[in-house]
Amino acid sequence: MLAGTAVLAGAALIGTAPALIGTAPARAATPSALLPDADVHVLVVDGMRPDELAPGLTPHLLALADAGTRYTAARAISVAETLPNHAAMMTGVLPHRSGVPANSIFDPVLGRTRDLDRPTDLRAGTVLDRLPRELGLTTASVLSKRYLHGLFGGRASVAWDPVPLLPLTEHAPDRFTVDALISVVEERSPRFTFTNLGDVDRVGHLDVLGASLRLARTAALRSADEQVARFVEFLRATGRWERSVLIVLADHGMDWSAPDQLIGLVDVLGADPLLAGSVRTAQNGGANLLYWVGDPAARVDAVARMREVAAAVPGVAALYAGADLGLGAAAGDLVALCDAGWRFSDPSPLSNPIPGNHGHAATVEIPFFVAGGHASIRRGLTVADPVRTLDVAPTVAALFGLAGPAGGWDGRAATHAFAG
């Protein structure tokens, strides 16, 4: 194993995942496996935009896509942030069932905002824990971001603790992440892996030239492309390629804003007599979750006023009730999304100084393709049917013959990519 790579056996944690809350119908009978002999690898190039799947930026990824099945109408779910979309990929259900509607929420128990980075925050079963428990298959998570590892850390049979963590970005660079992925596959031969490559996203957030030259982002895209190519070469060199299926996608895109195009809602809402002192926010870059914490009897009137006041603020594109987006109670009373080229910054203008953000409509389009050496993968196919991050778990389940969860999938299997 390469230095700096730590692999933690998580076998003792299999079967400890929290159950779905509430009473739900029993699962359907176990279906037949579409590809019972396959090894399936989900690779997430965090924050990559579909227009960045291009010859000058990501030639290896583009070649993989062209040699497999490429989906041209792929989208993240709202809120288009890292945690909810990775949760969607592994659970196949919407946030009101998974418990993860955004990266950051207002926690009424703590009285402050926090990241959803605890294992108990994820309330739904995932393919990472269900495949071992129900089918006896080994799974692995290789997640570069600290809060992703916190959310999923005990779910897989094998979970990599991301190291080294860079101090500002709290993620492990892609080189170390792929080192860990190769080591896990070489040592444990998992039938399913889930990997997050964080460099493109983290550099995109910090790249002050993001709206113009994007020099740092270009370098990060080329590096991520080379790391995926290195993993593919490892699969080929070790005789694993012919049974491999790669599902490659992003969790969201990226948008850049000018320094003066930021939105603060705390002061605006606080200046209204009805709302003063009784609204909390959870800022998520391109999205802002709004919570009424005042008299519950006044909630209906207060939320209507929150909507009216926030809608008049420049840069606010849309306001939704959490139920409209399938987000659940943790998302608060209203979800505000910004226009392209804007960002939220609450509670102060200094709270979100970074130019690269996501969560809003400008960042829901993502690359999504299926590739690999398995003989059943359809080659050179382009599919215009819509797919979402929600569709990853049902697709993985269909390949292995895993039944749907209690209450069924909210996504659907993307089986266009497989012959038969």
Specify which of 205-214, 253-262, 292-301 reaches the highest per-range mean pLDDT: 292-301
Predicted confidence (pLDDT) at residue 260 exceeds the cutoff of 90: no
**100-104, 302-306, 352-356: the lowest-pLDDT one:** 352-356
Predicted confidence (pLDDT) at residue 3 exceeds the cutoff of 60: no
62-71 per-position pLDDT tens digit: 999 999 999 9
179-224 per-position pLDDT tens digit: 999 999 999 999 999 999 999 998 877 765 555 557 788 899 999 9
Q: What is the band of 356 on the pLDDT scale with cuts at 50, 70, 90? A: confident
Q: What is the band of 6 on the pLDDT scale with cuts at 50, 70, 90? A: very low
Predicted confidence (pLDDT) at residue 404 exceeds the cutoff of 90: yes
- Give the global pTM: 0.91
Structural domains of the chain, ranges and CATH numbers in brackets: 7-253+364-417 (3.40.720.10), 262-356 (3.30.1360)
CA 253 → CA 100, 163, 286, 408, distances in Å?
A: 19, 25, 11, 28
Q: Give the pLDDT of residue 15.
A: 29
Predicted confidence (pLDDT) at residue 241 exceeds the cutoff of 50: yes
46-101 per-position pLDDT tens digit: 999 999 999 989 999 999 999 999 999 999 999 999 999 999 999 999 999 999 99
Predicted confidence (pLDDT) at residue 328 exceeds the cutoff of 60: yes
